[in-house]
Amino acid sequence: MYIWEQPGWPGFSWNNQQLAPLLAQAHREQGRLLGKMEALGFELRQEAYLQNLTQEVVKSSEIEGEKLDSDQVRSSIARRLGMDIAGLVPADRHVEGVVEMMLDATQKFAEPITPQRLFAWHAALFPTGFSGMQPILTGCWRTDALGPMHVVSGPLGRERLHYEAPPANRLPAEIASFIDWFNAPTDLDPLLKAALTHLRFITVHPLEDGNGRIARALTDMALAHGENTHQRSYSMSARIRSERNDYYDILERTQRGTLDIAPWLEWFLGCLIRAMEDAQLRLDEAIRKARFWERFGKAALNERQIQVLQRYMREDWKGKLTSSKWAKIADCSQDTAGRDIKDLIERGALRKDEGGGRSTSYSVVEV
């Protein structure tokens, strides 16, 4: 029996005393993080906001096995929010649609959810009407024309069934109930509401594809509403991505369990706390980078040095900083790259890492 077949669905239960320590910790981390964000200067806060939104979009898609270009995502978000940043690149239609959905959820968190709004998000996720090479219905709820909605894994012919969603004829009533509940004022703790939002939507699984991404967008919307700010200070999807196996495991156990969903709430709150802790580490790193620029001053560096250092200090940088990477990023010769690096070492901005020869690499000097 799946959870939606239980008598009393969706009347969930849990032990408030059992959750109290985790809830208190989550709210403490939330307060610390929001306080740190407020204490940042405008430019640094905007950069942190851009980074968190980029992570949210990229990692939510990665959970479903889809890889988006982070530069395109970052550029699309920056353009839509009117941010003046360097190095913007064109974004393809699919990236633009995913970004549009996420920004609608987080920027307009106070506006009610409607079927039409959810259909618009779905169409934005699948602008061509295809999921990969498979045509799908957008702008409507799924049907059972091809059989029940199953969540499966494994190779074709040897699939493992993880979950079967409610039949399509139940969807109008299920979605109406969910929307009424989501939009209604409540005394429920906002963090618990976010956890229930995620579970209820993904359990109903009302769309042919994209249910996970829309469930996570709704979760972000609920969190933004609880914090009363559109500036996301952490990425829940980034943390879920790093715990993807645990995420699918707790979902499956919850969806095959009873209406007592304390284990799901415990996992969700723990994941949320870890997401906030990750964000605080990134903020500390951002502050160190800001101090670096304050110390060395962008005006004192040439354009190539600024370009490469800004790229190197981004979170999605992979590997070490070498003269060959420098030359490629700055579109210059190896000799010019060597002179740029030597100048920064003499200024105390870079240092040579241990090792040498072909493996010589460099690191920014911590301030």
- Domains assigned to the chain: 34-285 (1.10.3290.10), 299-364 (1.10.10.10)
**Mean pLDDT value across residues 29-39:** 88
Q: What percent of the chain has pLDDT over 90?
A: 73
pLDDT for res 95: 96
Kindly state the helix (H) or strand (E) to which residue 84 belongs, with its residue range: none
pLDDT for res 367: 63
Give the DSSP letter string of 15-43: -HHHHHHHHHHHHHHHHHHHHHHHHS-HH
Kindly state the helix (H) or strand (E) to which residue 151 belongs, with its residue range: strand 150-153
> Which residue in 307, 22, 327, 76 sits closest to 189, CA to CA?
22
Query: How many helices (H) does the chain have, and how many strands (E)?
Result: 14, 6
Read off the pLDDT of residues 74-95 as tens digits, 9 standing for 90 and up: 999 999 999 888 778 999 999 9
Read off the pLDDT of residues 131-168 as tens digits, 9 standing for 90 and up: 888 899 898 999 999 899 999 888 878 888 999 999 99
Two structure tokens written together for 331: 């579109």
Q: Considering the chain, what is the average pLDDT of its residues?
A: 92
- Where does the pLDDT of residue 25 fall: very low under 50, low under 70, confident under 90, or very high at 90 and above? very high
pLDDT for res 216: 97
pTM of the model: 0.84
With a cut of 90, say whether residue 290 has pLDDT above it.
no
Q: Are 216 and 235 in contact (CB under 8 A)?
A: no
Read off the pLDDT of residues 314-330 as tens digits, 9 standing for 90 and up: 767 888 899 999 999 99
With a cut of 70, say whether residue 357 has pLDDT above it.
no
Sign, Cα dihedral of 118, 74, 107, 192 = positive
d(CA 95, CA 57): 9
